[in-house]
Amino acid sequence: MRVLMAGLVLLAIAGCDAPGQSAGGVVQLSPTQPSSPPPVTHRVGGAGSLVEAVTKAVLAKSTYHFVVVPSDGLLKPSEGDARVLRLAEPVKSVVDGLELASTVRTPLQQGRPLDELRLVTAQGESYAKLPAEFEKQKGKPWLPLPRNLDSELNNNLLEVHDSLAQAVTPTNYHLPIIAAGGFIHATAVEGQCVRHSVTVDLKQAAEKVESVYLKEEMQYALGSGGKTVEYELLVCRGDELAQLKMIVPVMSTGKVSTTEIRFSDWGKPVTIAAPPDAETFGR
């Protein structure tokens, strides 16, 4: 599942243009509430105060919409909604306290055109809605994804799910890593928002992060030759996270890969629920 931080194999996730996204791939940021306090420019130095402020805002609003924006051809568009139910400290897995509903398009077999795949995590369980030709039982398109089942299909679908969840759930992945090893080296005001440029020292993050799960992620990245990861966090009024960029060196090519996530609709109602038993395989 260590796709994002290792920077070796980026999962290809594709989807349709999101609401607010033009055909050219430009996503418009949602306007912030005028009653919210202006964003704070966190000083150059340790990123702890930045992470604390953004984390507090995420937990207060709880729900949000996300869009994965393509930037290098490796990570394709994807969008959905998320709900953070609680913050596990330390984080035990990418789905701790998370509910997620997203539509992605990715080939389910090599050589196939893009398939539409619906992924849902609700009440601690994950599911994938498969195209009709992949249904294990006619009329039951939803497939449970148990983490104790070792099969090629289950593992592949969980990798798709978990890689996406890592990218779009800052409280369970990016923010604890930034808090443990991040250093703000530049800030810039952009309208009603402030962009914070952060360098994460992977060795320091591995030593300081409390989560065993995240510590293993950092150690895997270090073992793959990684040393640092660059982040950009665009934070707007009320400490709302509007955009997160992660720039990771790809060791096999010597180039970098940029993952960009846009966040909006903080605190607005979302509908995330497990699929009905009548449509779920094995039930």
Mean pLDDT of 172-194: 94
Given a cut of 90, whether residue 233 has pLDDT beyond it is yes
**Residue 35: per-residue pLDDT:** 55
CB 180 within 8 A of CB 203: no
What DSSP string describes 149-217? ---HHHHHHHHHHHHHHHHH-GGGTHHHHHHHHEEEEEEEEETTEEEEEEEEEHHHHHHH---HHHHHH
Question: Cα(242)–Cα(80) distance, rounded to whole angstroms?
Answer: 15
CA atoms within a 13 Å half-sphere pointing along the CA-CB vector of 92? 6
Q: Does any domain span residue 108?
A: yes
Is residue 32 assigned to a domain?
no
pTM: 0.82
| 178-197 average pLDDT score | 94
Average pLDDT over residues 163-177: 91
> What is the per-residue pLDDT across 76-119, written as a single tens digit (0 to 9) for each?
668 999 999 876 677 888 888 899 999 987 777 888 887 788 99
CA dihedral 15, 18, 22, 28 (to 10 degrees): -130
Beta-carbon neighbour count of residue 20 at 10 Å? 16
Q: How many domains does the chain have?
A: 1
Residue 170 confidence (pLDDT): 92
Range of the domain at 207: 3-21+37-279
Beta bridge partners of 264: 65
Cα angle value 264/130/149 (rounded, 5°): 95
CATH number, domain of 211, equals 2.50.20.20
**Residue 228 included in any domain:** yes
How buried is 46 (Cβ within 10 angstroms: 0-12 exposed, 13-18 middle, 19+ buried)?
A: middle
Residue 10 lies in a domain: yes
* Torsion-angle region of 171 (φ positive above 0: left; ψ -120 to 50: alpha; else: beta): alpha
In sequence order, the β-bridge partners of residue 243 are 234, 262
Contact call for residues 11 and 160 (beta carbons, < 8 A): yes
In a domain? residue 27:
no
Categorize the per-residue pLDDT at 58 as very low, low, confident or very high, splitting at 50, 70 and 90. Answer: very high
